[in-house]
Amino acid sequence: MARERKKSADAMSTDSGSESTGDLHDALSDESSFYGDSYEKERLEELVSDFDVVHYWEKIHPRSLATIQSRAQKADARAAANAKVKAKAASEQAESDSSPAPKIEPDASEPSQVIRTNPRTTRQASESVEEFLSRLPPSMTKAAAPVGPWIYIYNHRENLHSGSVSTLVARGTELLRNYENEKSALEVEHHKTTTSKTKSSSTAKPRSNAALGRKLVPLRRNLETSLFALARETGVVSGKWMLFPTAEHVDEVWAAVVEATANDELGVAAKVATDDESGGGRLVAIYTRDYEDKKDVKRVLEKLVELGLVDRGAAARPIYYKCDAYTYLDIKSTNTYGLKASLYSSRDALGWKG
């Protein structure tokens, strides 16, 4: 009797398991509503078919906030590691050398925020122009320590203020990231609309990128306005005219700039790139106090023309003026924001009235 009850129980268990398995199969079958109703499945399938993987990874993913934040975190980690290495090297140098260690600027395009009294990179008040040029000729001065990538001269009659660079960089970077996110959103919408219209009609032509460009224009103008307002608010308003003499002529050009700066005939400061052994042209930057002071900006340019360092003719190759705020934010001529890296050209500035 007990054996019969066990067989009966086993049979019931088997039937129940089969029924449960059948219910699960029905729930997950293509005909079930587990994945949504027919409309929902059709919508999802359309989204999958419209999704352009290559476009996402090439255009959208690199500009997403998460990607930018990840890159920024990695950059911060690298910077922290480099800072530790530099701190250790500076400590070791201090033990073996009683003179102050030089400030080596990490970026070859960094503006003129240096210690003026550093004799290894800067002309001293007690040093004549001839002594300074003889001690640090740019054609022969290497970019390695102890001098570093730049040689400086300051107009000792002027008091150059750098403003709050850290605030500018922090808030300016946020503005740039916000622009990238808004730009990416517009690109996604443009691509989605273009793909949808092309699929709906076999004769429809893809929408031109000009339509996207028109939407980006006001976005870019707003970014530019916000960056200049931030530069003014933080006091980072200096800028520079940029010359690019060859290595063969850099000493001659630098000598003219140094003498004019020392005589209070140019701007508040100037710098020249040392020899990094790349063989390329050397940057000579001539600084003015305020990029919005067009009268002073033009005055410095006209002095460069008088010195024979810039040509005035209409067919002459122009030089360009860049504000330091853009330099600190690493906005170069090939930037992804579509911003014009330089503020003025010599051709434009020489035509200013007044």
pLDDT in tens, 300-335: 999 999 999 999 877 889 999 999 999 999 999 999
Q: Is the confidence at residue 270, as pLDDT, over 70?
A: yes
What is the structure's pLDDT at 188?
A: 83
Alpha carbon 260 to chain centroid distance?
A: 32
Q: Is the confidence at residue 63, as pLDDT, over 50?
A: yes
Q: Which residues contact 192 (CB under 8 A, 6 or more apart)?
A: 50
What is the structure's pLDDT at 213?
A: 75
What is the structure's pLDDT at 209?
A: 75
pLDDT in tens, 122-170: 898 889 999 999 999 999 999 988 889 999 999 877 666 678 899 999 9
What is the CATH code for 110-162+236-349? 3.30.760.10
Higher-pLDDT residue of 56 and 223 is 223
Euclidean distance between CA atoms 316 and 300, whole angstroms: 18
Q: Which residues contact 307 (CB under 8 A, 6 or more apart)?
A: 256, 257, 260
For residue 177, give the nearest of 77, 328, 67, 73 by alpha carbon. 67
Beta strands 284-288 and 269-273: pairing type? antiparallel
Are 300 and 193 within 8 A, CB to CB? no
What is the structure's pLDDT at 199?
A: 55
pLDDT in tens, 71-115: 656 666 666 666 665 555 454 444 333 333 333 333 334 444 444
CA angle 319, 149, 100 (to 5 degrees): 135
| pLDDT above 90: percentage of residues in the chain | 45
State the distance between the two ends of the chain, measured CA to CA, in whole angstroms: 118
| pTM higher than 0.85 | no
Count CB neighbours of 134 within 10 A. Answer: 10
pLDDT in tens, 204-228: 555 567 777 788 899 999 999 999 9
Q: Is the confidence at residue 192, as pLDDT, over 80?
A: no
DSSP string, 291-315: TT-HHHHHHHHHHHHHTTSS--STT
